[in-house]
Structure 1
């Protein structure tokens, strides 16, 4: 007998309260990886095996530890009983099976395969949005790796699926290698970029989040002046800019014996703060 729709919704609500699926796919990956291991593993091993940035792996592990889904054992980490219960409920959610028994290794591998397809879709979606807000609709693989929290090699694997697609309708990205000058004029500083194709732009235009961004002139302005690709990144840079700029302008004004420079700065800082606030209310 399968899990009823109402039961699935309750399971989803419970699981999402522990790991926000829309934001924490890395935590989910780490948890599933630990579920397949018999002995404790280090964060560096997790980062290497899952091809994550080490900082992202540390952050995910710390959050899983706080939630009680993993536990320390010696110098490494293992999945906790609460974590196994979480994974079992996740399997029930995906397959509709009613069994409460602990998952076998085979079923856990099946779940990892299902989750992996969703994770690829999520990263491709985020890549489309990021390129959509960038100049020339392109971004370097290293920058995208930083924003997504996964290794550049993993970004390449995901985006190349669509960059090298033979079917025209699937060719969302175009891979570009920009050659730079290294030492002694050698071309050893090549940089890899991905750019949206016309197909990619067409798909992007269907996204509700992107249409909201196009209407939000305030947010577009903040992203441009802070050279950012995400709202959270832009706001952090704006806060840092205003926070550091105010004492500096105060010192400069005191040295020159006038307050007009400080007054101008405070006006600019206030204006930028108002624009950032307005960007939150535009739908």
Structure 2
């Protein structure tokens, strides 16, 4: 594999992360459609024109326009009118997206489409796999032996194991020039085998993915590596939870917080002040500590 190929993957990963920090493309297709419409039309558009062009109701379009305006991606051409255009930041985002698609600009992307119109769905098909790749590389880079089960990685990505495997396998094939992962089969622990036997599951082994030397090289180049390396709170959370993924960690901390709340409610119901008050005080202290760790882990 050439250095140019590795550089290309690195650039795509970083552009995707920068874009995702502005627009959560897995949840905000309307926002992406609006940005694309303004880019391809190349003139200011009213909210009504945008709604008609992308086939959406005006109310969600206005909400999306408001969010895009707050992020500095679009602006109103006139203060008191709902007519919008892309800002310089918005135009740069479009150029970055075109680069990810392998085109020098959005015009080339439009030409490649049969009907001459690029939608959020078209770009998401390309963007999402790269997004998952970033999440998986980060999780594996922070995991013990740089290895995790496919089921765990699927939880990190928020999709099914089968679907994630489709995205990862091109980078785990032994014949691939860009082999970022090694796919291995591990025997299940004895306790899990017993549980599977009780539940009549025939699964006796688990698929794992491990970063290759090339995958590690790519991980060490990502800015998230330096963020993790120098953050003692994040490193503490990695030791507790086994790997780094912001959404997964926040979800687990929320679950712990809910459990503590349930315990506090149960203790209050007991109404034995001598025993309950010291325990509740301790649990509240733990809750405050969890809140502090949560805030620090996102810095």
TM-score normalised by the shorter chain: which range applies?
A: 0.5 to 0.7
- Secondary structure of the 1:166 match is coil
CA distance in 1, matches of 2:227, 2:152: 24
Contact 2:228 2:234 in 1 (8 A): yes
Instruction: State which of 144, 147, 171 in structure 1 corresponds to 2:153.
Output: 144
Instruction: State which of 106, 124, 135 in structure 2 corresponds to 1:126.
Output: 135
CA distance in 1, matches of 2:122, 2:262: 53
Instruction: State which of 153, 166, 170 in structure 1 corresponds to 2:178.
Output: 170
Q: CA deviation at 1:23?
A: 2.9
Structure 1 unaligned segments of length 5 or more: list them: 1-15, 33-61, 70-88
Q: Please tell me whether residue 203 in structure 1 is matched to residue 218 in structure 2.
A: yes
Which protein, 1 or 2, shows the higher relative CO under an 8 Å CA cutoff with sep ≥ 6?
2
Give aligned pairs, total: 217
CA distance in 2, matches of 1:138, 1:198: 12
Give per-residue Cα distances to partners, 1:190-217, cap 9 Å, x unaligned.
3211111222112101100122012111
Residue 262 of structure 1 corresponds to: 280
Residue 25 of structure 2 corresponds to: 24
Contact 2:182 2:209 in 1 (8 A): yes
Residue 231 of structure 1 corresponds to: 246
CA distance in 1, matches of 2:124, 2:264: 51
Contact 1:179 1:187 in 2 (8 A): no
Residue 144 of structure 2 corresponds to: 135
- Secondary structure of the 2:250 match is helix
Label 1:117 to 1:104 Cα distance change in 2 as closer, same or farther (>3 A).
Answer: closer
Residue 10 of structure 1 corresponds to: none
* TM-score w.r.t. length of structure 2: 0.54
Q: CA deviation at 1:110?
A: 11
Map 1:1-283; keep pairs closer than 5 Å: 23-25=24-26, 66-67=60-61, 94=98, 96=105, 105=114, 107=116, 116-166=125-175, 170-180=178-188, 181=193, 182-183=196-197, 188-226=203-241, 229-249=244-264, 251-252=266-267, 254-255=271-272, 257-258=274-275, 259-281=277-299
Q: CA deviation at 1:176?
A: 1.5
Label 1:160 to 1:280 Cα distance change in 2 as closer, same or farther (>3 A).
Answer: closer
* TM-score w.r.t. length of structure 1: 0.57
